Structure 1
Amino acid sequence: MLTTASVPDPDKVAYWNNAVSRALVPMTVAPRDDGPFNGRIATDRLGYLQVSTMEADAERVSRTPALIARSSEALVAVGVQVSGTATFIQDGRRAEVREGDLVVYDTTRPYFFDYPQRFTAHVFQLPRHMLRVPDSDIRQVTGNAIGTGDGFGAMLLPFLATLASSAEGYPPAVADRLAGNVVDLFATLIAERAHPDGTDTDTTRSHLLMRVRDHINRNLGDPNLSPEGIARTHRISVRYLHRLFQGEATTVGRLIQQRRLEECSRELARRGGTTPTVSAVAQRWGFVNPAHFSRAFRAAYGVSPREWRNLRTAQDDGGRSAAVISAPGTVPRAAADARGADRPVTGLPPSRA
């Protein structure tokens, strides 16, 4: 928390300029009134997401090319106008921001805020590359006020307000997961606003599919990971989620199981001091039923999880350690030799023809 409360009046403006630049990005702040100036800003982090709440008297904020040159990281920010109003300018567009509105802005390009009276705002900042959306889409959204009275904005505003008020209370693992969810939501917001008529469908689908895959990879250890939960997180229907995967040669459920099995196979084959039990590895990657895990693992790799782990010490004819294959459907040579055949395993019963 940085505040001007205990700063002498003659020094408050200079202190506030430094405080805001340290908490957010370098910028110039000029009070609109001649009287004593007061402001405070509180900042927390959720993984790579920074959450700040700023309350201050009427002011003008400028981010100039010279100040941009002092910044080392490209950030995208989403501002939530909690109270008061603002005029926002970026990329040649001017927006009148009212209470409850959102604004998206890019810190690598100049922008300007004018707050005509005392105000409160939440500011969410994250590395631009984490959004995985085209820069052209971001440019189409900046300089606009996004209303939150209905549609996607109406769902997003309460979530952001709750997150800003409780950011400091989350443990690191939960904070990282929340940051990933916020990125998904912001990327969806930008895509929705950049393509309101549904154009560029292939690009939007590709980005959404990428975010879904990333979400699955980050939540493999959650036994409740399911198509229903994934669809709910990304604000899409389960039916549309399945449609996304129609051209992917797999289904959502199969992808989840495949990725879990891959992580289990890697961990079971890892050399090291402490060797976890098979059941501990299975539970860590979201399998709650040991019997189901064992059947699924054998169907994918042709051997049991325990046999797979023992293969890391197996020797091939050349004296080298047998390779451990982490892609389901293929058995290491040592396992195939042990079974009397050197062949890929498909998980299907052999032909009886």
Structure 2
Amino acid sequence: MAVLSPDPVLLRVSTRDIPESDRSPFWREVFARQMCHLEFEPLSDGPLDVEATLLALPGLSVGWCLSTMPARWSRTAELVKDGDDAFAFIIPLAGAVNCSQRGRELDAKPGDGVGILHSEPGGIQFRELNDIAVMVQRSALAPLVPDLEEAATRLVPSTNEALRLLRLYLTGWRENFSITDSALCRLAVSHVHDLMAMALGATGDAAAGANGRGIRAARLKAVKADVASNLTAHDLSVAAVARRQRVTPRYVHMLFDREGTTFSRFVLAERLACARRMLLDPRHAQQSIGAIAYASGFGDLSHFNHAFRRRYGATPSEVRREGSDSQAIR
């Protein structure tokens, strides 16, 4: 997989789009060898059924792969001559993965993480696959992780907090990577580097720096995702979110303070946005405004109406009417 790209590139490939007789040659020669710098070996008969999504960024590549048949991906002794010095971090989301390199074998269960050095022969084998593969140049991780070669021989358990945050941070990128600003893109890449380094065992100043950058950014994203998932809960509170995210309420407040807002303001803005989407959605045309307010997490209709008008400069009824008029024009 190409690790460096001047601009974000998102590519989706599926064998289902290819005639059965051409699937194996294409996947082995074009996708595996040319695009990923890997060898692919199916371990069962039958038509190949694999799909993959690749996201290439400056300094980072992320791949998601789904396979319903046993297979092996590997860096052979011949392939390592290409000089590819990437470090791959494999995170199975479902199904176990056996990783072999440097004379050792590790069995990664769903949620675990395991490293592969592209500069040395090695590979992964599985019965079925649903995984994330995060790839960076070793030069990006070497200053953060004391002994990257040794780190590549250890299994990172699913209970590792940095690994959990890394999985959450990458959630959504598979379907839609929406960062277009180059500076923000570089920042996102550095956050992934930090999370990988912490999962692999960053220490000292490197750990302190990663905690102040990638860990904090990933925790904020996880907190916001938690709020979004529990938006309609009328008992949504900073204490409940902090408990689920394994941090203190004070830490959650600090995360939002650094963004120039507060937890309460963020929750209010998200609930108002949810209500507005429902008011504009024809599928909710028969629901009363009170029902929509309640479904968006509001318990007081007067408070909802006041906050909505202050936010959008119009009443909920006016926004609903504008949405109906717009649909009628179409």
Q: Same fold (TM over 0.5)?
A: yes
Residue 182 of structure 2 is aligned to residue 172 of structure 1: yes
Q: Given that residues 95 and 109 in structure 2 are in contact (C-alpha distance below 8 angstroms), is that contact kept between their aligned partners in structure 1?
A: yes
Residue 141 of structure 2 is aligned to residue 141 of structure 1: no
TM-score where L is the length of structure 2: 0.55
SS of residue in 2 equivalent to 1:15: helix
For 1:123 and 1:231, locate their aligned partners in 2 and report how far apart those are by CA, in whole Å. Answer: 19
Structure 1 residue aligned with 2:204: 205
Residue 5 of structure 2 is aligned to residue 6 of structure 1: no
For 1:153 and 1:164, locate their aligned partners in 2 and report how far apart those are by CA, in whole Å. Answer: 17
Q: Give aligned-pair identity as a percent.
A: 18
Structure 2 residue aligned with 1:22: 34
User: Post-superposition shift, 1:128?
Assistant: 1.0
User: Post-superposition shift, 1:112?
Assistant: 1.9
Structure 2 residue aligned with 1:60: 72
Identify the match of residue 216 of structure 2 among 205, 229, 232. Answer: 232
User: Where do residues 66-81 of structure 1 align in structure 2 (5 Å cutoff)?
Assistant: 66-70=78-82, 72-81=83-92
Identify the match of residue 201 of structure 2 among 167, 191, 196. Answer: 191
**Structure 1 residues not aligned, in runs of 5+:** 193-203, 216-226, 236-353
For 1:150 and 1:110, locate their aligned partners in 2 and report how far apart those are by CA, in whole Å. Answer: 27
CA 1:133/1:58 → structure 2, altered by over 3 Å: closer, same or farther?
same
SS of residue in 2 equivalent to 1:21: helix
Identify the match of residue 90 of structure 1 among 87, 91, 101. Answer: 101
Structure 2 residue aligned with 1:107: 118
Structure 2 residue aligned with 1:45: 56
RMSD: 2.8
CA 1:231/1:96 → structure 2, altered by over 3 Å: closer, same or farther?
closer
User: Post-superposition shift, 1:46?
Assistant: 2.9
CA 1:92/1:133 → structure 2, altered by over 3 Å: closer, same or farther?
farther
CA 1:147/1:166 → structure 2, altered by over 3 Å: closer, same or farther?
farther
SS of residue in 1 equivalent to 2:171: helix
CA 1:54/1:162 → structure 2, altered by over 3 Å: closer, same or farther?
same
Q: Given that residues 45 and 168 in structure 1 are in contact (C-alpha distance below 8 angstroms), is that contact kept between their aligned partners in structure 2?
A: no
For 2:178 and 2:214, locate their aligned partners in 1 and report how far apart those are by CA, in whole Å. Answer: 26
For 1:5 and 1:110, locate their aligned partners in 2 and report how far apart those are by CA, in whole Å. Answer: 30
For 1:8 and 1:163, locate their aligned partners in 2 and report how far apart those are by CA, in whole Å. Answer: 29
For 1:150 and 1:206, locate their aligned partners in 2 and report how far apart those are by CA, in whole Å. Answer: 20
Question: Which deviates more, 127-136 or 175-184?
Answer: 127-136
**Structure 2 residues not aligned, in runs of 5+:** 1-11, 220-330
Pair member with larger Rg: 1
Number of residue pairs aligned between Structure 1 and Structure 2: 206
For 1:147 and 1:116, locate their aligned partners in 2 and report how far apart those are by CA, in whole Å. Answer: 20
Q: Given that residues 75 and 108 in structure 1 are in contact (C-alpha distance below 8 angstroms), is that contact kept between their aligned partners in structure 2?
A: yes
